[in-house]
Structure 1
Amino acid sequence: MKTVLTSCTSIALVLTGLLTTIPGMAEWSSDPTARTPVVKVEHLQYWTRLVKVDDGFITLWQDKRRDNTHVDVYAQKFTLDGQMLWPENGRVIAAGPAGSLTLPFQLDTSLVHDGNGGALISWNDASDPVYFQAFASRVAPDGGVSWGNPGETIQSSDTAIPLLASETRGINRMPSVWNMAADSEGGAFVPLTTGIGRLDSSGRVRTNWFEDPTDQQSPAGFGFVPFVDSAQRDGVYAVWPQGSLYFVDKVVARKLIDPEARWPLSKDTFTDAWGQLSLYDPDYSINVCRLTAVPDDDGGFIAVWTDDRVRSETAHFRVYAQRVDADGNALWQQGGIEVSADVMTYTCYWWSRLSAVADGEGGVAIAWNDQQDSQRLQRIAADGSKRWGADGVLLDTDNGIYTNLTTHGLVQTRDGDYVVLYYHEGETKLVTQKLSGGRGMPLWGEGKVVYEGCVYPYLGGDDAAMVADGKGGAVVTFVGCDQDVYAHRIDDSGAGTFSVNPGLNDAWYDPETSGQGFFITVFPDLGTVSLAWFTYDTELPPPDAVAYLGDPGHRWLTAVGPIEGSGAVMDIELTSGGIFDAATEITRTDPPGSDGTLTLTFSSCNSGTIEYDIPSINRQGIVPIQRVATDNVVICEALSSD
């Protein structure tokens, strides 16, 4: 019997060892300084892209592993649990010169899902600045690369489609800040500097190329938003700054519809629904630094960009947004609503970033950074109003002279909240924070760290990318300063989160201002928090002031607001006209909210902050709070752990 047990034990140990060494069996690393590797090879890997597919995630990057003399394109697929599914260190997508790839540099990648567990990928066979020829191919769910007939061989048995809006090879380029847009049938719309076209799911060009007579080559960005119209036809909105480099004459858009009348017998020709629509047409040339666009969830789109119209003589830009309906009507303020105050960008340096995502209600959430100061976010409602305060949410700051905060992504999660990804250079941390959809309240304490370490900023490329994980969190890929690609999932649980619960019901105060304080009551069934603030006037009353009960300087404020994660944003209400223990007519704040707001945030069962903004006395500030007595902490902790 002993021998049998020993043999079984040996077999179990051997199997355990095998399982731990099989490629693809790895899970997410719990070490914030060493996340799960996607690729670890010699030389530089850079410009990572990421897309969610039916059964996992596909990431794409540019790769110099061939003796640092070639730039190839590689991809890897992994599961929600962090298991790598394709060959170790990635599946080569394009490596030249070989076949139809005439040059050693494959650059400016683009990545979208194919609706079937795989992805569509494009890149440029390039020799900067002379020759740029775009290609596209499909990588299947199992990692096979083939877009068959009429594809061209690019290496060994792999094929791709040369994107030829112009028959002259070498001038059909897709710039690095542009991206394909997936259609509803497994194909994609493709934007080139020479024209816009549509590919079907087999890689055939199913439309004639639409050649816009105006310049689309600004590196500031290119908004490309697919849609399906009421007649079930696929189309795409194209939005771009018209001009040269960052110096543009206006921001314009087109609506292109594939009539889907002739294909597959012959190519269709796009319907140019509006002609060229001007979103902002200044009287003089301006600088446009960043531009993107998202659907408005009602058949139109929302464009977001930065320009220097207000302070063109300086390095200061501001963020603007415009919503356009399906008929080509601009719905917000002419020229776009002003989303932000000054954003100092030093003439569009690469670390000035902008991300936007549709909110599912006709509006948009936007994240941006000022490399000298702050990471900010704002949500714009369908009517163009600001949902997250006049100045948005100030999420983080970096006061270092030579360090920056850089926005790397913004996604909406399944629960209607938002996750933002940014790099804090001063603290050498890649950080995520989740914000509530309603008021933009931070939900993950001080944020969740994706990576403690340096992120590689290769020539301003995409050194980090993020998509929603479908579970309330997000998945991130990034390039570390060791020049390898890593991945990590940030889930919506665990350390760094705190949720409001009835165990917080208590008397709270700031020890520095003893004699003042707060009563806080949580109503979980109603989903609200009530707060009463007992304080004093902003100045001492005169000596001859009379009060028959209490001190003439006594003041109290009340506020109620909806629970959002770790806190609540509440409108202040002031009352007047009452008499002690008597029924009298009471005057209340009208309209609600006009006396200011309180933002209540808890970081634990015995600590939090109250941020106040009271316009009537022109006072803003933050009060740190703790319990007057800690008796109820144990109740709060028990409820928090449930």
Structure 2
Amino acid sequence: MIIRFDQTQEFDMKNLTTLIICSLLFISVTSAQWSTDPASPQSLGNGIQAQVAATSDGGVYVAWLTDGNYHVYIQRLDAAGEAQIGAINMLVSDNNNSSWIAVYHLNLAVDGDDNAIITTVDERTGIWEVYAWKIAPDGSMLWGEDGVVVTAFGASNMSPRLTVLPDNSVVVTCTHNNNTVLFQRISSDGTLLWGDGIQIEDNNASLVSPQPTVTMEGDVLIQWIRQTGSPPYYNSELYLQTYDLDGNPQWMFPIVAAGPVVFPMGNWSQ
């Protein structure tokens, strides 16, 4: 199967992760199967920041933002390319958003029950906060139409990323107040498990762009970037720390995996 996003560039299924940074969405549900002609791709409509995540039955979820107002949409396609969430794509969120913030902060994953998990930021409260949605294969909003409020601090929260744990709970990380790492675990039923979240602070540096992943032992490995100096000549170091399911650090000190290097190693789309 080939998914085509513009007139010059093609992606096969092995390169689906590169779709995260593509600018136009041209996957289709208008016919009952995937197009076999790269010159005539099927189309879901116009959009930006399209993301794809595979399901266990050979299908995919596709999530994207509309260009201009940056509303969040999703569709599930089966292995034959047929739409499974109605004939019209499903609106997840139409909350207010700023352009450059919205474009780089949409995330999509699939849990062990083939539910889609989406995280992003929006400005429904007047400031950038992080929200998460869980969407069943039939389009049901399992965490409510407004999603789970991951952050509610009255300070900017950006660059969210997520990972799904073996028990179908979800860990979401973000950059809090432009200089602090914040992360939260959400149970499969949408309950926040770590209070107001766990923060990693450094009085002598800015900590930005955290990303979570699951270790072989089922713990959570979090990566972040520690930056000192002034832009654009940051001294950047890549840090790692592992946390158990109660949010307790497993190493006495974080590990410096790379750096320092004198350039801004992190960005909001990494």
Output the amino acid matched with 1:361.
D
Give the alignment partner of residue 238 of structure 1, picking from 41, 62, 67: 62
Task: Tell me which structure has the larger Cα radius of gyration.
Answer: 1
* C-alpha separation in 1, matches of 2:37 and 2:193: 42
1:530-549 to 2 correspondences below 5 Å: none
Give the alignment partner of residue 258 of structure 2, picking from 451, 455, 458: 451
Instruction: Give yes or no for the alignment of 1:407 onto 2:209.
Output: yes
Aligned to 2:41: 209
Aligned to 1:329: 140
Seen in structure 2, the aligned counterparts of structure 1 residues 429 and 443 have a Cα distance that, compared at 3 Å, is: same
Output the amino acid matched with 2:209.
T
Give the alignment partner of residue 225 of structure 2, picking from 423, 437, 462: 423
Seen in structure 2, the aligned counterparts of structure 1 residues 318 and 177 have a Cα distance that, compared at 3 Å, is: farther
* C-alpha separation in 2, matches of 1:448 and 1:458: 17
* C-alpha separation in 2, matches of 1:273 and 1:137: 22
Give the alignment partner of residue 276 of structure 1, picking from 74, 82, 89: 89
Give the alignment partner of residue 297 of structure 1, picking from 106, 112, 115: 112
TM-score (normalised: structure 1):
0.35
Q: In the TM superposition, what is the alpha-carbon distance from 1:378 to its structure 2 partner? A: 0.6
RMSD of aligned residue pairs (Cα, Å):
3.4
Q: Is the 8 A contact 2:165 2:214 kept in 1?
A: yes
Q: In the TM superposition, what is the alpha-carbon distance from 1:321 to its structure 2 partner? A: 0.4
Q: In the TM superposition, what is the alpha-carbon distance from 1:302 to its structure 2 partner? A: 0.8
1:531-610 to 2 correspondences below 5 Å: none
* C-alpha separation in 2, matches of 1:132 and 1:446: 49
Instruction: Give yes or no for the alignment of 1:195 onto 2:26.
Output: yes
Aligned to 2:167: 361
Seen in structure 2, the aligned counterparts of structure 1 residues 456 and 258 have a Cα distance that, compared at 3 Å, is: same
Instruction: Give yes or no for the alignment of 1:387 onto 2:177.
Output: no
Task: Give 3-state SS (helix, strand or coil) of 1:378's partner.
Answer: strand
Seen in structure 2, the aligned counterparts of structure 1 residues 372 and 460 have a Cα distance that, compared at 3 Å, is: closer
Aligned to 1:133: 8
Output the amino acid matched with 2:135.
V
Identity of aligned residues (%): 20
Instruction: Give yes or no for the alignment of 1:397 onto 2:225.
Output: no
Give the alignment partner of residue 378 of structure 1, picking from 172, 184, 205: 184
Seen in structure 2, the aligned counterparts of structure 1 residues 273 and 377 have a Cα distance that, compared at 3 Å, is: same
Output the amino acid matched with 2:140.
N
Give deviations 1:163-217, integer Å, cap 9, x for gaps.
xxxxxxxxxxx997716xxxxxxxxxxx7725127xxxxxx9489733123x312
Instruction: Give yes or no for the alignment of 1:339 onto 2:150.
Output: yes
TM-score (normalised: structure 2):
0.78
Q: Is the 8 A contact 2:236 2:263 kept in 1?
A: no
Q: Is the 8 A contact 2:223 2:241 kept in 1?
A: yes
Give deviations 1:45-89, integer Å, cap 9, x for gaps.
xxxxxxxxxxxxxxxxxxxxxxxxxxxxxxxxxxxxxxxxxxxxx
Give deviations 1:282-315, integer Å, cap 9, x for gaps.
4xx433631101112102111111111101xxxx
Q: Is the 8 A contact 1:373 1:399 kept in 2?
A: no
Instruction: Give yes or no for the alignment of 1:442 onto 2:254.
Output: no
Give the alignment partner of residue 227 of structure 1, picking from 46, 55, 61: 55
Output the amino acid matched with 2:108.
A
Q: Is the 8 A contact 1:320 1:340 kept in 2?
A: yes
Q: Is the 8 A contact 2:143 2:189 kept in 1?
A: yes
Please, which runs of 5 or more residues in structure 1 have no aligned partner? 1-119, 125-130, 140-173, 180-190, 198-203, 260-269, 346-351, 464-642
* C-alpha separation in 2, matches of 1:325 and 1:137: 26
Q: In the TM superposition, what is the alpha-carbon distance from 1:425 to its structure 2 partner? A: 0.2
Q: Is the 8 A contact 2:225 2:236 kept in 1?
A: yes
* C-alpha separation in 2, matches of 1:355 and 1:446: 23
Seen in structure 2, the aligned counterparts of structure 1 residues 453 and 392 have a Cα distance that, compared at 3 Å, is: same
* C-alpha separation in 2, matches of 1:123 and 1:273: 21
Output the amino acid matched with 2:47.
Q
Aligned to 1:255: 76
Give deviations 1:118-139, integer Å, cap 9, x for gaps.
xx9x999xxxxxx972134799
Q: Is the 8 A contact 1:430 1:455 kept in 2?
A: no
* C-alpha separation in 2, matches of 1:177 and 1:226: 13
Q: Is the 8 A contact 2:211 2:222 kept in 1?
A: yes
Give deviations 1:525-563, integer Å, cap 9, x for gaps.
xxxxxxxxxxxxxxxxxxxxxxxxxxxxxxxxxxxxxxx
1:599-638 to 2 correspondences below 5 Å: none
Q: Is the 8 A contact 1:280 1:335 kept in 2?
A: yes
Aligned to 1:178: 20
Please, which runs of 5 or more residues in structure 2 have no aligned partner? 29-34, 229-234
Seen in structure 2, the aligned counterparts of structure 1 residues 462 and 453 have a Cα distance that, compared at 3 Å, is: farther
Seen in structure 2, the aligned counterparts of structure 1 residues 458 and 133 have a Cα distance that, compared at 3 Å, is: farther
Q: In the TM superposition, what is the alpha-carbon distance from 1:429 to its structure 2 partner? A: 2.3
Seen in structure 2, the aligned counterparts of structure 1 residues 302 and 365 have a Cα distance that, compared at 3 Å, is: same
Output the amino acid matched with 2:61.
Y
Q: In the TM superposition, what is the alpha-carbon distance from 1:416 to its structure 2 partner? A: 0.8
Give deviations 1:332-356, integer Å, cap 9, x for gaps.
13221100124526xxxxxx42211
Q: In the TM superposition, what is the alpha-carbon distance from 1:462 to its structure 2 partner? A: 6.3
Q: In the TM superposition, what is the alpha-carbon distance from 1:236 to its structure 2 partner? A: 0.7
Q: In the TM superposition, what is the alpha-carbon distance from 1:456 to its structure 2 partner? A: 3.3
Q: In the TM superposition, what is the alpha-carbon distance from 1:368 to its structure 2 partner? A: 0.8
Q: How many residues end up aligned between the 2 structures?
A: 248
* C-alpha separation in 1, matches of 2:52 and 2:206: 29
Output the amino acid matched with 1:134.
Q
